[in-house]
Structure 1
Amino acid sequence: MMRPYSLSSSSSLTVTPQNPKLSPAHSFFLPPLPGTTAFSFSSNPTYIRKGLSLKCRQSEYFDQQKFATTNAQYDNSSFAPQTPSRADQLPARFYVGHSIYKGKAALTVEPKAPEFTALDSGAFKISKEGFVLLQFAPAAGVRVYDWSRKQVFSLSVTEIGNLVSLGATGSCEFFHDPFKGRSEEGQVRKMLKVEPLPDGSGHFFNLSVQNKLINLDESIYIPVTRAEFAVLNSAFNFILPHLLGWSAFANSIKPEEVSRGNNASPKYGGDYEWKR
């Protein structure tokens, strides 16, 4: 390492601070050289009866060290992936689904995300739970399906719970009125029945739609084997916490905030039984 001082022969000893940040009150100590004695001096220009001249090059030394460190960091950055600024990042969107194709119909299953409302505190509160969208399309030929005639049915989290709890011989049915509570109530009726196949090899999914607004009465059914039903149940079990928004909550937990609790509203867990 280079010594941050330089010595030269002169008729007097002059101390000149090169770093403007150093206070005039700073003092220095020069360690003894071989065959000499140690001496100290002030940062103000001082003349001592010694035949040496000394300049403080401390600022130059540290400037060189800083320059070397900056260059090293710059060189290393070329090997790291370049992450764009937050303003340049676009949220990634993923569209997923699972389809079952049979001779008379096709069934597509797609998850739909929950909706959140921003609060004044900057937090988010779930305003609408997610759901799973079932789309039934009748066959128009061999391995050809008429998606222009598709009928849809939205499964709520509770209805998904009914499906995943079905045994090999279990059955259930769901009734929907998309216009319930509105002037068109009763004009559109949808019923989904899930019943076991006679040989016990799976379940029938049968969707019946009556739409008086367009004079439509249609029924689409598709057999789902035990293996296909197991795949659906596995997907349903996985996606349920996400449809409820619980996964978003779990991802937002920070270790330092666990002990604080949330006392914003007793309805949402602010009043804990073990704190009474």
Structure 2
Amino acid sequence: MAFSRFLPFRNSILAGAANVKASFWSNTGHGISTFGPDLAIDAGSSSVRSYANYTVFKGKAALSMTPVLPTIRKVDISKVYKNGCVMVTFWPAIGQRKYDWQKKQAFALSPTEVGSLIALGPAESCEFFHDPSMKSSLEGQVKKTLSVSPLGNDNGYFLNLSVVNHVQKTNERFSVPVTKAEFTVIRTVLSYVLPHIMGWPQALRSEVPSKATNLQKHQYVGEEVLRDPALEWER
């Protein structure tokens, strides 16, 4: 009898929670941001690793930020072969709360570019330019420009990505406004991951795995590479 008296109270709580969730979606529209890890199992390993990102969904596009660890090689001593990055991925909207996950464009933020975002003031803006063929005969064929500009009145920032491909004759543009609170989250996570994408925590470790001494120079040691920053130029 005591349990049966509890059930109506429990059901009313669940119904209230559902109403709050429905109200949240209807009132906020496209200004939704989510933050949560995706779990995946490494090939050939029974261990489970957590791949976390921070995603912001808005009316015209969505963006996600994901840390990419550096590549570490064995050359005399363990050393960073290639710095990591923070991969910023954009997707275009194709409807209300619907996005085309196939038509993505990525921009790999270097440690210095991450520092620029961390230091960005309320009324300041910055712009980053990437060209995979810079200083070669193919320079200018594909260009990516990421700009960050204030919304005004200290309300947040616009993150704009422009991708010009003269080979395919395409010009893609993405624009995502982020609120002050959302940019605070971005600034905080960037501050945390900055030393990791530079390989500093790995360098400060007192012990190196014993099997590392048997690796050839072309093999990686230390932290496993999660994703190659070259993916910025793949679809």
Structures share fold, TM-score greater than 0.5: yes
Q: CA deviation at 1:178?
A: 1.7
Question: How far, CA to CA, are the matches of 1:187 and 1:145 in structure 2?
Answer: 27
* 1:178-193 correspondence runs (5 A): 178-193=132-147
Tell me by how many angstroms 1:177 deviates.
0.4
Within the alignment, does 1:205 sit opposite 2:159 as a pair? Answer: yes
> Which residue of the partner structure matches residue 97 of structure 1?
53
* AA matched with 1:156: S
CA distance in 2, matches of 1:234, 1:140: 30
Q: Residues 41-52 of structure 1: matches in 2 within 5 Å? A: none
Give the number of the structure with larger relative contact order, counting CA–CA contacts within 8 Å between residues 6 or more apart.
Answer: 2
> Displacement, 1:179?
1.9
Aligned twin of 2:190? 236
Aligned length: 165
For residue 251 of structure 1, report the CA deviation from its aligned partner. Answer: 2.2
RMSD of equivalent CA atoms: 1.8
Mapped partners of 1:146, 1:186: distance in 2: 27
How far apart are 1:117 and its partner, in Å? 1.1
Distance 1:165 1:249 in 2: 25
Say if 2:123 and 2:152, in contact at 8 Å, map to a contact too: no
- In 1: Cα distance, 2:135 partner to 2:206 partner: 36
Q: Would the aligned equivalents of 2:150 and 2:156 in 1 still touch at CA under 8 Å?
A: yes
Distance (whole Å) between structure 1 residues aligned to residue 195 and residue 47 of structure 2: 21
In structure 2, the CA distance between the partners of 1:126 and 1:215, relative to structure 1 (3 Å rule), is same
Q: How far is the alpha carbon of 1:90 from its aligned partner?
A: 5.0
Distance, in Å, in 2 between the alignment partners of 1:91 and 1:246 is 24
Residue of structure 2 in register with 1:22 after alignment: none
Provide the TM-score with structure 2 as the length reference. Answer: 0.66
Can you give the 5+ residue segments of structure 1 that lack an aligned partner in the other structure?
A: 1-87, 255-276
TM-score, normalised with respect to structure 1: 0.57
Q: Which amino acid aligns with 2:99?
A: Y
Question: Computing the radius of gyration over CA atoms, which structure comes out larger, 1 or 2?
Answer: 1
Partner of 1:227: 181
Specify the code of the residue in structure 2 equivalent to 1:137: W
Question: Residue in 2 aligned with 1:41?
Answer: none
Give yes or no for the alignment of 1:250 onto 2:198: no
- Select the structure that is richer in strand: 2
Compared CA separation, residues 221 and 92, structure 1 to 2 (3 A)? same
Give the Cα separation in 2 of the matches to 1:113 and 1:154.
12
Would you say the 8 A contact 2:61–2:90 is kept in 1? yes
Distance in 1 separating the partners of 2:90 and 2:165: 16
The whole-number CA distance in structure 1 between the counterparts of 2:154 and 2:45 is 51
> Percent of counterpart pairs with the same letter?
44
Displacement of 1:253 in angstroms is 5.9
Q: Is the 8 A contact 2:55 2:65 kept in 1?
A: yes
Task: In structure 2, give the amino acid aligned to 1:129.
Answer: N
Q: Deviations over 1:84-118 (max 9, x none)?
A: xxxx9656533221100011110010111100111
Is 1:136 aligned to 2:76, yes or no? Answer: no
CA distances 1:131-158 after superposition (whole Å, capped 9, x unpaired): 0001111100000011222111110000
CA contact (8 A) 2:126 2:147 kept: yes
**2:68 counterpart (112, 115, 132):** 112
